[in-house]
Amino acid sequence: MALTIGIIGLPNVGKSTLLNALASAGAEASNYPFCTIECNKGVVTVPDERLDRLAEILRPDKVIPSHITYVDIAGLVEGASRGEGLGNKFLHHIREADVLVHVLRCFDDPDITHVFEGVDPVRDLQTVETELFLSDLDRVGKWIGKEREKSKAVRKGERKDLGFLEKIKGLLSEEKRIDQAGMNEHQLEAMAELGLLTQKPMILVLNSGESEEADCLEGQVSTVRDHHGHEPVVISARVEEELAELPENDREEYMRELGIEAEARKSFIERCHSLLGLVRYYTAANGKLQAWSILEGTKAPDAAGMIHSDMRDGFIRAKVMSYADLDSHGSEAEVQHQGHLRTEGHDYIIKDGDVIQYLFKR
Ligand X SMILES: Nc1nc2c(ncn2[C@@H]2O[C@H](COP(=O)(O)OP(=O)(O)OP(=O)(O)O)[C@@H](O)[C@H]2O)c(=O)[nH]1
- Taking a C-beta distance cutoff of 8 angstroms, is the pair 282, 322 a contact? no
User: Which one, 12 or 135, has the nearer CB to ligand X?
Assistant: 12
Separation of alpha carbons 356 and 361, rounded Å: 16
User: Which one, 125 or 320, has the nearer CB to Mg ion?
Assistant: 125
User: Which one, 119 or 300, has the nearer CB to ligand X?
Assistant: 119
Site for Mg ion in 15-34 (CB under 5 A): 15-16
Quick one: which of 36, 199, 208, 322 contacts Mg ion (CB under 5 A)? 36
Q: How far is CA 243 from CA 30, 326, 361, in A?
A: 18, 37, 48
Query: Minimum distance between the CB of residue 13 and ligand X, rounded to whole angstroms?
Result: 4
Site for ligand X in 175-234 (CB under 6 A): 207, 209-210
Give which of Mg ion, ligand X, none residue 238 binds (C-beta under 5 to 8 Å, depending on kind): ligand X
Quick one: which of 25, 64, 112, 217 contacts ligand X (CB under 6 A)? 112
CA-CA-CA-CA torsion sign (139, 141, 146, 150): positive
Separation of alpha carbons 281 and 290, rounded Å: 8
Q: What is the dihedral of CA 140, 141, 143, 146, to 10 degrees?
A: 180
User: Which one, 101 or 165, has the nearer CB to ligand X?
Assistant: 101
Here's the x/- map for ligand X, 58-77, by CB under 6 A: it reads as ----------------xx--
Quick one: which of 2, 25, 35, 144 contacts ligand X (CB under 6 A)? 35
Strands (E), 208-339: 233-235, 278-285, 288-295, 315-322
Site for ligand X in 89-108 (CB under 6 A): 107
Separation of alpha carbons 234 and 133, rounded Å: 25
Quick one: which of 11, 85, 87, 232 contacts ligand X (CB under 6 A)? 11
* Residues in touch with Mg ion (CB under 5 A): 15-16, 35-36
* Residues in touch with ligand X (CB under 6 A): 9, 11-17, 29-31, 33-36, 74-75, 107, 109, 112, 207, 209-210, 236-238
